[in-house]
Structure formats: structure tokens, C-alpha cells
Structure 1
Amino acid sequence: MHPCRVLFICTGNSARSILSEATLNRLGKGRFEAYSAGSHPTGRVNPHALNQLVSTGISTDNLSSKSWDRFVGDDTPPLDIVITVCDSAASEPCPVLFGDFVRSHWGLPDPAGVTGDSAAIAAAFEHAHALITYRILALLKLPVEAMSKVELQQALDHIGTITDDDAEHV
């Protein structure tokens, strides 16, 4: 079986989806293959996201802000899971992608929207990355290779509800 292919999408593909892609590729290496994209990509990865990844020892090589159009052609690898990471609680529009894969939503506040001094911005990126990491650790515990699409959907949706308070139990 090929590695489980996961696409993280949001609007700009500059922070949350990038953090998710890089973290899953690091922690799930060999078992998972992660990508990220945006419905309206900014065209550049947020430098604070890159700093956050570097500070935790995760490679930033080959990360780029790109359109989800890259993942809809016949020459693209088939996706197994698509996870939106936009913050619907903040009325941020979540992209919709169609295909034969399991979809889930792991809403996260956008750390790129935080204003203030550099310490406040760095803290927002650190917090977002910690929550992403908790959720990815929960994903890694799933026997995705043996789960039905319905079981996987339910498990992923549950992971998307993990908050800071739940994270210590992951």
C-alpha cells in the first residue's frame, strides 16, 4: 500500500496548512505523505511559520504556497484524506475540494492574523503549531490502513475537535 496521502487546505496556504504539511511529513514519514494548498494562495509561506518549524527541528525544504489546482488533475497522486484547517468559527470561508477521499475539518485560528509585537506573533504560531502537532499525533495512532472510510471519517472529525484542554490526553 502507498503511504496515506493527506492534503491540508486553507485559503492562503501560508501558515496553518504549511505547518500541518511539514509536521505530518516529519512525524509520519514513510506511513504518510502530506501536501498543502490553498484556494487563494498568498504565493509565499509566512516567515513566522518557517521560523516555528525551524525552532522545532522540522525541515522547511520544498515548502511553498500553492493552489489546490495542483491536486485536481489526472497526473496528480490520488489523495486519501483532505483536511481543511480554516477557522469557520471566525467566519473564514473554507475551501471545498471534490474527489474520492475522506474529508474532515480541523479548524484553527489563523496565527497570521495576530497583530502585536514579535513575541505575541511568535506565541500565536507556537500555539497553532502545538495544536496541529497534538492532532497529528492523534492521527498517527489511528490504524488508517485498516479503517473503512466511515470509520476514518468519524475518527478524523473527532480529532478536529481536540482543543488545548484535550491535548494533554493525546
Structure 2
Amino acid sequence: MEEFLQVGAIANTHGIAGEVKVFPMTDDIKRFKKLKEVYLDTGKERKLLHVVSCKFVKNQPVLRFKEFSNINEVEMYKRKGLFVTRDQAVPLEKDEYFIADLIGLSVIREDNGEVLGELTDVLQTGANDVYEVKMEDGKEVLLPAIRECIKNVDLQKGEITVHVMKGLLDE
């Protein structure tokens, strides 16, 4: 399991005092109000940053960090990821999982126990998530993340058991 979970990315600078607009990658953008520290992925290292303030401009978080005092210091970090440690993550409800924990799991068919493939991405569509699975033959299949389709997620075993709905595969 990943030690760090991405909560956002620096979208742009905001003003000249070193504030940044953040593109949120979390279901709960209010979490940024409680954030005390984040790790900035510079491309070479993860740099610990201390959050001094958080405000929202047009429903987008704007953060100011102790480590930066002007626009020139943060300009180079546009499009860089912001991460938290797992212990700082928002608590999950029953049957909720971090996307980072799902990527790479084996996808097993409920009907015959065969490996369908590997979960390679989770698409967030608004209505429900969609799991992208790369099958053994290299093709991809999209599975809706709904109870009728996703039967069990076992992070310990590294498996997701699925019911393949009629018409999803050319069989």
C-alpha cells in the first residue's frame, strides 16, 4: 500500500505572496481547511510544506505555505502533486477505498474464478466510478463500480471479485 496519498496538485500561483491555487484530488475539498502539512512532489524528492492558511476562491482551495514568501519561489512547482501521509488521510466509510490502493489489484471473475486482468485506473464520472481493467489479452474493459458488478475488494489478497455483466465482454 502507498505510504503517501495525493490530495491535489498545484494548479497555478495566486498573487505575488507565494500562495498557490490547488486542483483538488479528493472527494472532500473542505479537508484543505484542516490541513497542517503536505508533501510536495518536486520530481526529485518529497518536500515537507507547512500550511499557514487556506481560503477558497471560486470553490478552489488557495494555500499559503510557511516555506514560500513570494511568487518566484513557487512558480516552478506548477502541476506538481501535493500528498499527505496515510495517517493524515480522511477516514473512509464502509466499502470505500483509496484509488492508490486499488490500482494494480487482480480482477477475478465471480462466475469462474479466472483472472480477468489488472485494475489500471479508476475513472471518476460523477454518477459512479468506473474501473479500467487491462485484460490478459491486452484489451481493456470498463466496469462500473456498482454493487451489481463489484462483488468484493480484498486488499490483503490483492484481488477484486467482479460480476461481469452481460454485454461487457465479447464472448
Same fold flag (TM > 0.5): no
Higher strand share: 2
TM-score normalized by the length of structure 1: 0.26
Higher helix share: 1
TM-score normalized by the length of structure 2: 0.25
Higher relative contact order at CA 8 Å, sep ≥6: structure 1 or structure 2? 1
